[in-house]
């Protein structure tokens, strides 16, 4: 599903560059769940952005389901994300002018799915938000917004789920509900799950745990 070879990534800081990922190699099989842990600033979000094709490495290759991202145009990468990935960002990224239902329906509408609304309603029900479908993001609690974001990421049953600290902003009870939901959907869809988290209990639920430290990725 995922194959990373000799990945290097740095960011420009003042006149020089600061290395964030150094010689990262990783293979993830289809259907696996993998936790990425590591201290704040260790490059976890950077790694997810690279996997999503939202940023480009200095060198090395990123292959997702046989597609080498480095060789693709921005349009191709957007298509790849739409068709094959569900991305849960740390800060939700819901569209404020759309209701919960509108946010979840949008990716299906963009893909031209004639059953967009029915599918969006079904997944909102599964995340326990059927009664909030006509609420706007600002009318929802943090936990509810996070569940809408997860519903939106998973509504098209993507083969690959990328989640960046999906419980990071939530209280304990809401967080454990959200992680149950994520694993439930991962199990039901047979999707590959790459989960960045600070939460060791959540990491322990994954098949594998990887640690980013000093720019290197190692099995934890
Ligand atoms: P994590 O998600 O593990 O907390 P990040 O991947 O967000 O870490 O960041 C890794 C390092 O790269 C940090 O030191 C951060 O300050 C730096 N960084 C992240 N994004 C940028 C950017 N766009 N420009 C410059 N530095 C960045
Ligand atoms: Mg981060």
CA atoms of 118 and 207, how far apart (whole Å): 33
Residue 145 domain boundaries: 2-219
Nearest residue to 203 via CA among 174, 168, 173: 168
Residue-level pLDDT at 195: 95
Contact 109, 116 (CB under 8 A): yes
Tell me the per-residue pLDDT of 191-212, one tens digit each, with 9 for 90 and over: 999 999 988 889 999 999 999 9
Determine whether the shortest distance from the Cβ of 214 to ligand 1 is under 6 A.
Answer: no
Tell me the per-residue pLDDT of 60-72, one tens digit each, with 9 for 90 and over: 999 999 999 998 9
Tell me the per-residue pLDDT of 128-161, one tens digit each, with 9 for 90 and over: 899 999 999 999 998 899 999 999 998 988 999 9
Query: How many structural domains compose the chain?
Result: 1
Q: What is the mean pLDDT of residues 95-115?
A: 94
pTM attached to this predicted model: 0.92
Contact 86, 154 (CB under 8 A): yes
Residue nearest to atom 6 of ligand 1 (CA): 43
Kind and range of the H or E run holding 211: strand 208-213
Distance 214 CA to ligand 1 centre (A): 13
The domain that contains 94 carries what CATH number?
3.40.50.300
User: CB-based burial of residue 169 (10 Å sphere; 0-12 exposed, 13-18 middle, 19+ buried)?
Assistant: middle
CA atoms of 144 and 142, how far apart (whole Å): 5
Distance 164 CA to ligand 2 centre (A): 7
Residue-level pLDDT at 41: 92
């Amino acid at each position: 599903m995922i194959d990373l070879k000799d990945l290097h990534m740095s960011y420009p800081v003042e006149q020089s560059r600061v290395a964030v990922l150094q010689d990262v190699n990783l293979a993830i099989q289809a259907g696996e769940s993998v936790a990425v842990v590591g201290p704040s600033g260790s490059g976890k979000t950077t790694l997810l952005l690279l996997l999503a094709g939202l940023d480009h490495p200095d060198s090395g290759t990123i292959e997702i389901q046989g597609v080498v991202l480095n060789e693709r145009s921005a349009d191709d990468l957007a298509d790849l994300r739409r068709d094959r990935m569900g991305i849960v960002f740390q800060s939700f990224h819901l569209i404020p002018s759309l209701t919960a239902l509108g946010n979840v329906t949008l990716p299906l509408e963009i893909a031209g799915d004639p059953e967009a609304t029915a599918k969006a309603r079904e997944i909102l029900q599964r995340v326990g938000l059927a009664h909030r479908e006509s609420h706007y993001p600002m009318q929802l609690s943090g936990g509810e917004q996070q569940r809408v974001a997860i519903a939106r990421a998973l509504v098209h049953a993507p083969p690959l789920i990328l989640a960046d600290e999906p419980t990071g902003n939530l209280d304990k009870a809401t967080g454990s509900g959200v992680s149950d939901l994520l694993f439930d959907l991962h199990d039901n869809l047979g999707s590959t799950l790459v989960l960045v988290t600070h939460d060791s209990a959540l990491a322990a639920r994954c098949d594998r745990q990887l640690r980013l430290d000093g720019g290197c990725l190692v099995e934890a």
